[in-house]
Structure 1
Amino acid sequence: MSATRLLVLGVVRGYGVAHGYLIGNDLMSWGAGEWANVKWGSIYHALKQLTKEGRLAAEEVPPARTDYRITAEGEREFQRLLRDALRRPETRPDMLGAGLALLPSLRRSDAVALLHERLAALESRRDAAREQVAEWADPPHVRELFGLWEHTADSGVAWTRGLLERLEGGAYPMAGERNSPGDPGSWPILKFE
């Protein structure tokens, strides 16, 4: 999965209509270059590829700008990527970061269900690593690797439980709720005077 694809689709979706510079400026201001390895070139590549695939529609705006809108196919791809980012623990944190940045795009009940899937997967990973630590014999130092996996999964379990508690307690306006930034076209475009 590509965090850049998810983020680009999410920003276009959020604004309703967005051009490359606006998308890039938002993502860079979020620090996505660090936590999702997003680069300006990868943003424009994603825009071209998503347009070629029919997930974005492009419109030339004189003198030299292209505006993008998400298509129905793009909305399906966005939902698939976002849901996978939240439900599947990955070794690299970029997809989870992208999923969290776009979390309000989901209804609260959907986000909670996906995070419960993530929690179950993390608990399973933790338990499997714990068994490997207990059973591993030779070479003994490899046990440290399994210990790292156990610790990483266990901290993921604790964090996921905390997020679930916050969401179930009503934190963050989610799609369909009042003041949610998760509905398509709901993002205000900041105008600098």
Structure 2
Amino acid sequence: MSATRLLVLGVVRGYGRAHGYLVGNDLLSWGADEWANVKWGSIYHALKQLTKEGCLRDDLVPPGRTDYELTDKGEAEYLRLLRDSLRRPELRPDMLGAGLAMLPSLTRDEAVGLFKQRLEELEAKRDSAQELGRSWERPPHVKELYGLWEHSAASGAEWTRGMIERLEGGAYPMMGEPGSPGPAGSWHEPLPE
């Protein structure tokens, strides 16, 4: 999965209609260049690729700016990527970071359900790595790899349990709740510089 793809779709979705500079400016102001390796070139590449795939519709606005809007296919792809980013633990943290950045696009109940799926998978990975470490014999140093996997999965499970608890306790305004970022197209474009 691509964190850049998820983030670009999410920002365009949030505004309803956005140009490349607005998308990039938002993502870079969030620090996505650090936690998701998002760069200007990857943003524009994603916009062009998503348009080619029919996930975005482009519109040339004089004097030469291109605005983008999400299509129905783009909405489905956005929600697929968002849901997968929250329920599927990956070795790279960029997809989870992208999913967390777009978390309020989901209802509280759906987000909790996705994190519960993530927790189950992390606990299974922890148990599997623990068993592999116990049974491993040669070469002996490879056992450290299983210890690392066990530790990573256990700490991920601990964080996920906390996230579920925070969401169930009412943390963060989610889709349909007062103070949430709102439905698609409800973000407001920042004032011109």
Q: TM-score, normalised by structure 1?
A: 0.97
Q: Report the counterpart of residue 136 of structure 2 in structure 1.
A: 136
Q: Secondary structure at the match of 1:67?
A: strand
What is the letter of the counterpart of residue 88 of structure 1? R
Whichever residue aligns with residue 30 of structure 1, its letter is W
Aligned Cα RMSD in Å?
Answer: 1.0
Aligned: 1:20 with 2:9: no
Give, in whole Å, the separation in 1 of the partners of 2:31 and 2:71.
27
Partner of 1:153: 153
Match in the other structure for 1:87:
87
Partner Cα separation in structure 2 for residue 91 and residue 120 of structure 1:
16
Distance apart, 1:53 and its partner CA:
1.1
SS, match of residue 129 in structure 1 = helix
1-side partners of 2:134 and 2:183: how far apart? 48
Q: Is 1:175 the counterpart of 2:169 in the alignment?
A: no
Q: Deviations over 1:76-126 (max 9, x none)?
A: 000000000001001111111100000000111111111100000000000
1:59: which partner in 2? 59
Mark the runs of 5 or more structure 2 residues left unpaired by the alignment: none
Deviations for 1:44-89, whole angstroms, at most 9, x for unmatched residues?
Answer: 0110111111111111111011111111110000000000000100
Post-superposition CA distance 1:21-47 (Å, at most 9, x none): 000001111111111111111110110
Specify the alignment match of 1:188 in structure 2: 188
Separation of aligned partners in 2, 1:192 and 1:63: 16
Find the counterpart in structure 2 of residue 45 from structure 1: 45
Amino acid across the alignment from 1:142: V
Shift of 1:185: 1.4
Q: CA deviation at 1:182?
A: 4.4
How far has the Cα of 1:188 moved from its partner? 2.1
Q: Which runs of 5+ in 1 are unaligned?
A: none
Aligned to 1:29: 29
Match of 2:114 in 1: 114
Q: Which residue of 2 aligns with 1:3?
A: 3
Question: 1:181: Cα distance to partner?
Answer: 1.0
TM-score (structure 2 length as normaliser): 0.97
Deviation of residue 192 (structure 1)? 4.5
Q: Give the AA of the match of 1:115.
A: F
Please say if residues 58 and 67 of structure 1, whose CA atoms lie closer than 8 Å, have aligned partners that are also in contact.
Answer: yes
Alignment partners' CA distance in 1, 2:119 and 2:132 = 20
1:151 and 1:56 mapped to 2: Cα distance?
A: 40
Counterpart AA for 1:64: G
Q: Secondary structure at the match of 1:143?
A: helix
* Distance in 2 between residues matched to 1:133 and 1:52, nearest whole Å: 46
